[in-house]
Amino acid sequence: MSSCYDLSQDQQSWSFGYFPKDGGNYKGDSKDASRYSANFIEGVSDNATQIDEKNMLMMRYAYQGQKDTAGYTLGSSVWYSFLDNKNNNKTGSRMNANVFGQWATPTYDTTLTFGY
């Protein structure tokens, strides 16, 4: 059972999510044409690595502010999940993390993201 929670208070917002498995395919010509996640796709040949991603945990924090005519957002996000390699029956994990900043004026919009 998937679950997502969004909390906002003043200039701060938090998002938390849990997804037990990949969302799957819903439309498109190829087997992995359309997915709502960044999960691994299934390989084309039998020799390709077959990995299932599961128990995905996500968290995002953002702080929004205003300075004169410019608005800005500063924040961070983390994605942690477990991986099952179907070729060799080994398990592992994956973690993605980043910090981001966005600065927007009436004429410019800039986003910087640093991730791991």
* CA distance linking residue 56 with residue 68, whole number of Å: 39
Tell me the per-residue pLDDT of 41-98, one tens digit each, with 9 for 90 and over.
666 666 777 778 889 999 999 999 999 999 999 999 999 999 888 888 899 999 999 9
Q: Which residues contact 68 (CB under 8 A, 6 or more apart)?
A: none
pLDDT band at 106 (very low <50, low <70, confident <90, very high): very high
Which pLDDT score, from 0 to 100, does residue 111 have?
96
Tell me the per-residue pLDDT of 22-38, one tens digit each, with 9 for 90 and over.
766 656 555 655 555 55
Number of domains in the chain: 1
Tell me the per-residue pLDDT of 73-89, one tens digit each, with 9 for 90 and over.
999 999 999 988 888 88
Which pLDDT score, from 0 to 100, does residue 32 have?
58
Range of the domain at 12: 3-115
Q: By the 8 A CB rule, do 25 and 31 touch?
A: yes
Nearest-CA neighbor of 82 among 95, 72, 71?
Answer: 95
